[in-house]
Amino acid sequence: MNYLKPRLADDAHKNSAIIQELVARPDSVTLLGVKAKIKETMGSAGLFDEYTVKLRGVKQPEELALLSKSVQLSSIAHAEVMRAVKPNMSERELEGILMYVHKKYGAEGEGYPPIVGVGANACILHYEENNETVLNNQLVLLDVGSEYHGYSADVTRTVPPTGKFTEEQKAIYQIVYEAQEEVFKLCKAGVPYASLEAKTGEVLAAGLIKLGIIKEAKELRTYYPHGVSHHMGLDVHDKGSYQGNLEENMVITVEPGIYIPAGSKCDKKWWNIGVRIEDDIVIGKDKGTNLSIDAPRKWQDVEKMAAEKSIFDGAKFPPLK
């Protein structure tokens, strides 16, 4: 459907005195003036939002093809990290493995600054330093996605460097996993977008109450401070509607998480556990399609992958003089 036709003709810019002003003198000062005039005459950037939300919220087949590749190659990179990770590795080394695999597949780079955080760092939202030099036995959270031919993946996995989850790590991981499973069931056309957030809150709160970490559902935001889903595509947080219902060929993330920094008002045994699992889903008529299945999600499958050999095992370089 051509959303632009009803209100703007293809050559409308030629008849617009305001736009022609910018064409004649394309500098930043003119741009500021032009923006102000557009705001006056057309009612702010609302029009831009209206069009891009429609144009970018629902993906074309060509876009789905590129986005699928971006997500798949990122998932393969995450699986490789599961095989390669060891307690004596650094956050940066893991970041390097992901970036190497991305480039091996021809990705131009990453769609956003990679987040690789172990233990306490996993509990910091948007941690980007990635400078912890030893992982030891704490969980590592990796939120890393490639940019492939303009399309951004957005995949998060949380892995135990020893190859085995501790009981506490597993308990938290399992709650996040179950929230994801429940939300996946809602990823189909006609379901209100807002219901995904509601379902996430329900499952995460019930899980934390069961473990005695919180007493009431309203305490959940302490340990789950972000949203469960966003549109993705040309931008990792792409334009798209958050009102109303999901539509076929929207592509969204499903990314519940629980983060328990040291000092939290709960048993110390939970401190410094941060878990997020993030998958990229194409909304279908009757069900969603998970584009990131090449990176295991079940804790049993993560441990199984960790037991496999990696091409990075035993990589050695000469010592520096």
Residues that bind Mn ion (CB under 5 A): 154, 253
For Mn ion, the nearest residue by Cβ is 154
> 84 or 254, CB closer to Mn ion?
254
The span from the CA of 128 to the CA of 150, in Å, is: 22
Q: Which is nearer to Mn ion, 237 or 287 (CB)?
A: 237
Give me the least distance between CB of 155 and Mn ion, in Å please. Answer: 9
CB nearer to Mn ion: give 81 or 277.
277
User: Shortest gap between Cβ of 292 and Mn ion (angstroms)?
Assistant: 11
- Shortest distance, CB of residue 278 to Mn ion, whole angstroms? 6
Considering the complex, state which of residue 70 and residue 253 has its C-beta at the smaller distance from Mn ion: 253
Minimum CB separation of residue 255 from Mn ion in Å reads 5
Amino acid identity, residue 252?
I
Q: Which is nearer to Mn ion, 22 or 115 (CB)?
A: 115
Nearest one of 113, 115, 165, 114 to 139, comparing CA atoms: 165
Distances (CA, A) of 46 to 39, 41, 223, 313: 9, 12, 35, 53
Sign of CA dihedral 36, 38, 42, 43: negative
Q: Are 85 and 98 in contact (CB under 8 A)?
A: no
Axis-axis angle for helices 61-84, 91-104 (nearest 10)? 140
Say how many C-beta atoms besides its own lie within 10 A of residue 216's C-beta.
8
> What is d(CA 255, CA 181) in angstroms, rounded to the nearest whole number?
11
Per DSSP, the residues of 146-205 read EEETTEE---EEEE-TTSS--HHHHHHHHHHHHHHHHHHTT-BTTSBTHHHHHHHHHHHH
Smallest gap from residue 217 Cβ to Mn ion (A) = 24
- What is the smallest separation between the CB atom of 154 and Mn ion, expressed in angstroms? 4
Identify which of residues 169 and 253 has a Cβ nearer to Mn ion in the complex: 253
